[in-house]
């Protein structure tokens, strides 16, 4: 490791501790990641994004801290937030390891406990704007009375509109998706809001050298726990069947949850349509057609 003076100075200002060395970290397509070695022996990860929205990194830090509230009760592991400002966040380093069946089972149980910790509402109930971010996109989180309403007006419809505005979805795609929106109250079961990671694709599950799975880069809010599980299934997670078995042993899901997996994948598919275009909108329309 060498020492990048500007990065080190920014970290030192936030942490009040000298930075001995820095090294770039590969991965991630939004922020620049740097590994820090501090004079007190701590190793940390610093993410920076020049000209980020003022609440971009503070929202991420708030999500990590909210999820961390469940760890003492067996909830999922998340890195400790060491410092944050409007253009960067610094968290304690998690040494990567290998995924194993045992770690997957432990992760399933821990995720169930984090979900079970609950949330005050569907969305976020906090001072100021409740909105946050998923990737580079704003994530609307103004509370709604039911999950069906929240999923429709805060998750599916905003990203369908944005995908159309960006030319990544056409009228046929929109008609198919809008048709299922009206059926959501009949399709989605009533359940109290769970404490969600919110962007739980496999890239945000870090298998640690300590044999545990750690969650990173949250877009946390109160929602239906099937959304986190559906997102894990959408992009594939090592040992996912074992994760799900352990989750269900800890906290069963409502009857018919397997039939709703694709329904809860509409949201991440539309987010990907907004970000990347491609065939994601068409795939979302095909999913929606299964429920109409």
Angle at 163 between CA 277 and CA 59, to 5 degrees: 95
Q: Determine the pLDDT at residue 231.
A: 97
What domains can be seen in the chain, in order of their start residue?
Answer: 5-92 (3.30.200.20), 101-289 (3.90.1200.10)
Distance CA 86, CA 2 (A): 25
Mean pLDDT within 133-153: 96
Name which of 279, 292, 102, 257 is nearest 181 in CA terms: 292
Mean pLDDT within 52-73: 96
Name which of 8, 268, 262 is nearest 134 in CA terms: 268
Within its chain, how far is the Cα of 280 from the centroid?
19
pLDDT at 1 over 70: no
DSSP class of 168: S
pLDDT at 41 over 90: yes
Mean pLDDT within 91-97: 97
Tokens of 15: 């942490």
3-state secondary structure of 220: coil
Tens of pLDDT, residues 210-239:
999 999 999 999 999 999 999 999 989 999
> Quick one: pLDDT band at residue 67, thresholds 50, 70, 90?
very high
Q: Determine the pLDDT at residue 95.
A: 97
Given 40, 127, 199, 245, which residue is catalytic? 199
Q: For the chain, give the percent of residues with pLDDT over 90.
A: 91
Q: Which of 128-137, 237-246, 282-291 has the lowest mean pLDDT?
A: 128-137
> Quick one: pLDDT band at residue 292, thresholds 50, 70, 90?
confident
Return mean pLDDT, the chain.
95
Q: Determine the pLDDT at residue 129.
A: 75
pLDDT at 29 over 90: no
Q: Determine the pLDDT at residue 235.
A: 87
pLDDT at 12 over 80: yes
pLDDT at 2 over 90: no
Residue entry with tokens 């059926």: 183
Q: For the chain, give the percent of residues with pLDDT over 70.
A: 99
Q: Determine the pLDDT at residue 130.
A: 86
HSE at residue 133, side-chain half, CA atoms within 13 A, is: 17
Q: Determine the pLDDT at residue 185.
A: 97
Is residue 202 within 8 A of residue 235, CB to CB? The reply is yes
Distance CA 75, CA 210 (A): 16
Tens of pLDDT, residues 236-261:
999 999 999 999 999 999 999 999 99
Distance CA 62, CA 258 (A): 31
Tens of pLDDT, residues 177-216:
999 999 999 999 999 999 999 999 999 999 999 999 999 9
Name 126's Cβ contacts closer than 8 Å, sequence gap at least 6. Answer: none
199 has catalytic annotation: yes
């Amino acid at each position: 490791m060498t020492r990048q003076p500007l990065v080190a100075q920014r970290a030192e200002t936030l942490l009040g501790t000298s930075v001995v060395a820095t090294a770039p970290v590969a991965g991630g397509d939004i922020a620049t990641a740097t590994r820090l070695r501090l004079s007190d022996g701590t190793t940390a990860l610093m993410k920076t994004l020049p000209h980020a929205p003022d609440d971009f990194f503070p929202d991420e830090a708030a999500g990590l801290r909210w999820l961390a509230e469940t760890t003492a009760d067996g909830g999922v592991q998340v890195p400790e937030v060491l410092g944050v400002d409007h253009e960067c966040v610094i968290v304690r380093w998690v040494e990567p390891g290998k995924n194993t069946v045992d770690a997957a089972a432990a992760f399933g149980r821990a995720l169930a406990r984090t979900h079970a910790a609950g949330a005050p509402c569907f969305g976020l109930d906090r001072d100021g704007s409740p909105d946050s971010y998923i990737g580079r996109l704003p994530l609307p989180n103004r509370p709604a009375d039911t999950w069906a309403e929240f999923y429709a007006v805060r998750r599916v419809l905003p990203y369908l509109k944005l995908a159309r505005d960006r030319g990544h979805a056409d009228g046929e795609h929109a008609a198919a998706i809008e048709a299922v929106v009206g059926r959501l109250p009949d399709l989605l079961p009533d359940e109290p809001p769970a404490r969600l990671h919110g962007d739980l694709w496999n890239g945000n599950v870090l298998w640690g050298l300590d044999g545990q799975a750690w969650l990173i880069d949250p877009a946390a809010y109160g929602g239906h726990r099937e959304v986190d599980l559906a997102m894990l299934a959408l992009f594939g997670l090592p040992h996912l069947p074992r994760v799900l078995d352990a989750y269900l042993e800890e906290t069963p899901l409502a009857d018919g949850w397997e039939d709703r997996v694709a329904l809860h994948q509409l949201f991440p598919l539309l987010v990907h349509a907004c970000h990347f275009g491609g065939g994601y909108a068409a795939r979302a329309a095909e999913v929606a057609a299964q429920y109409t």
